[in-house]
Chains A and B, each alone.
Chain A
Amino acid sequence: MTGPVITVTHGVVGYDGRPVLRDVSLTVSAGEVVAVLGANGSGKSTLIRAVLGLVPLSSGEVTLFGTAQRRFRQWHRIGYVPQRLGAGSGVPATVREVVASGRLARRGVLRPAGAPDRAAVAEALAAVGLTDRAGDPVATLSGGQQQRTLIARALAGRPELLVLDEPTAGVDMASQEAFAEALTGFVDGGGTVLLVAHELGPLRPLISRAVVVHQGGIAHDGAVPEPAGHHAAPDHDHVHPHGPDEPVGLWSS
């Protein structure tokens, strides 16, 4: 089975009548590692959210593993890594509990977790180097470690396709490298990757193709473009903080 894993055909997405993606077409084949690049607000995150069905297309079509997204039900084949862990609510959750959520796509809602589930969770935690933090509340982890928790959650479901939204934005170097290592393991195992990035960093050697989104359209589809301007400086530290980490407790919001 070497058919396309993802196809987007003439995809159009608009928020409140304002077009964000105009007539985008994209194909990702099995085994590819495709990076979607672009400036903030270019529509690159919207593109992958549309692929996953999190935002509706106003016209065009998306297929996943050869099935129209509307009728696609094999969600266990896809691992999604969002940009950031949802805002904490104060109810603590351990790293292991969050990663275990990744098994639900395979297990379903009603079946309780069994030995294979626990083994997959342990393996995913090891792959991102968080085994020793498994029992800690996620809110006490650094941003990079939280990001690794999210990739472990996606890996725990043993997906064939990983979709990542800015996985390394604002993440420390050690976590970026652990992240790249986990991703390498996944790709070596035959996995397909679609990731949105502002900056490739240590992920760069992994990328087989780059798609540049500019003003809602695809401006480039092919080799990874060379960094230009101040982005090209070897010591350029491109970090987008998402605001300070908030204290954990009853009143934190």
Chain B
Amino acid sequence: MSLFQYDFMLRALVGALIIGLAAPALGIYLVQRRLTLIGDGIGHVALTGVGAGLLLNRSPVLVAVVVATIGAVTIELIRARGRTSGDLALALLFYGGIAGGVLLVGLSDSTSSNLNAYLFGALTTTSRTDLVTIAVLGAVVLVAMVGLRPALFAICHDEEYARVSGLPVRELNLLLAVITAVTVTIAMRAVGVLLISALMVVPVAAAQQVTRGFHSTMTMAMALGLFSAGTGVWVAATANTAPGASIVVLAIGLFLVVTLVAALLRAVRRRRVDGGSAPVAEPHEVVLHR
């Protein structure tokens, strides 16, 4: 473990652990809402923020938070109106975001390696200031997602019932959108814009194969996220691989193992009862309105 005697490795590890814990805490609500790929889209929009930050010589991460938040709120407003054209509006926002980002980064003095750092993550370049930003924003995400769990669960589970309960549905939906933007932007450091959704969704997907309730799914997803983030950084340092990709590959590996074990357990249990048929698989899609 002597690798972590270097400050930059230690910062990378701590940053990754915070993100590994926070991303699934938010992701579970997105999965429940069937907005699994929204993180991806907001990541695209955040890239425009990065470009603007580099061009204006401001902190790319902070400008990205602002731009991603505007993007997320726009998407939420489109979703809430339930327009059929929402799908197309999302596509415009996503591709506009990534094109704008590439364009603005090109206009600034930065090199293409700088763009790569945001596209695929650059954990080992995490500075002390970056780490503070990640820690503060990560804490905000965790406190909001864990503290508001009953209300957010109610809204994601049955929005109409939540409205009749007098919950501030619109405000909480907007909060969820803003928190998504914040999580995307801090996760951008670790795994990059193109892999952000994986950290939010894959641990949740793995956990729900074996859990029975929402609370236990959330806890297990956060534990799996933490584990893949920590192990991913260690693997990256030892095998000299890209940290972001290592974390995501590990998370997907965990998902496969958990799914396989759960399927075996189910098969054994079913054989004891009778010979039932396997459920038909159907892929998830982005759904803008329910």
Which A residues lie at the B interface, using CB under 8 A?
Answer: 52-54, 73-76, 78, 80, 82, 85-87, 89-94, 96-98, 100-105, 109-110, 112-113, 135-137, 153, 157, 163, 247-253
Least CB distance, B288 to chain A, in whole angstroms: 14
Report which residue of A78, A89, A90, A100 has the largest number of chain B beta carbons within 10 angstroms of its beta carbon.
Answer: A89
A105–B157 CB distance below 8 A: no
Out of A78, A82, A91, A250, which one reaches B158, CB within 8 Å?
A82
B213–A53 CB distance below 8 A: no
Among all A-B residue pairs, the 3 with the closest Cβ atoms: A247-B279, A75-B166, A94-B213
Chain B residues closer than 8 Å to A252, beta-carbon distance: 279, 282
Chain A residues closer than 8 Å to B161, beta-carbon distance: 80, 82, 86, 101, 153
Chain A residues closer than 8 Å to B208, beta-carbon distance: 90-92, 250
Report which residue of A73, A82, A109, A135 has the largest number of chain B beta carbons within 10 angstroms of its beta carbon.
Answer: A109
Chain B residues closer than 8 Å to A76, beta-carbon distance: 165-166
Range, interface on chain B: 35 or more
B212–A90 CB distance below 8 A: no
Chain A residues closer than 8 Å to B163, beta-carbon distance: 53-54
Chain B, residue nearest A102 (CB): B165
B166–A113 CB distance below 8 A: no
Chain A residues closer than 8 Å to B1, beta-carbon distance: none
Cα–Cα, bound, A110→B284 (Å): 32
Chain B 276-288, CB within 8 Å of chain A: the 1/0 string?
A: 0001111111000
A93–B157 CB distance below 8 A: yes
Binds A, one of B31-39, B60-68, B82-90, B120-128: B31-39
A100–B213 CB distance below 8 A: no
Does B153 count as interface, using CB distance less than 8 angstroms? yes
A86–B290 CB distance below 8 A: yes
Chain B residues closer than 8 Å to A91, beta-carbon distance: 28, 31-32, 204, 208, 214, 217
A90–B31 CB distance below 8 A: yes
B167–A109 CB distance below 8 A: yes
Given contacts A52-B164, A53-B163, A86-B290, contact A104 B150 (CB under 8 A): yes
A92–B217 CB distance below 8 A: yes
Cα–Cα, bound, A76→B150 (Å): 16
Chain A residues closer than 8 Å to B31, beta-carbon distance: 89-91
Chain B, residue nearest A87 (CB): B290
Cα–Cα, bound, A94→B159 (Å): 18
Cα–Cα, bound, A75→B31 (Å): 28
Least CB distance, B262 to chain A, in whole angstroms: 9
Chain A residues closer than 8 Å to B151, beta-carbon distance: 104, 109
Does B205 count as interface, using CB distance less than 8 angstroms? yes
Cα–Cα, bound, A80→B213 (Å): 23
A101–B279 CB distance below 8 A: no
Does B148 count as interface, using CB distance less than 8 angstroms? yes
Out of B33, B150, B164, B212, which one reaches A92, CB within 8 Å?
B212
Chain A residues closer than 8 Å to B213, beta-carbon distance: 92-94, 96-97, 135, 137
Which of chain B's residues 232-262 have a Cβ closer than 8 Å to chain A?
259
Cα–Cα, bound, A104→B215 (Å): 16
Chain A residues closer than 8 Å to B281, beta-carbon distance: 249, 251
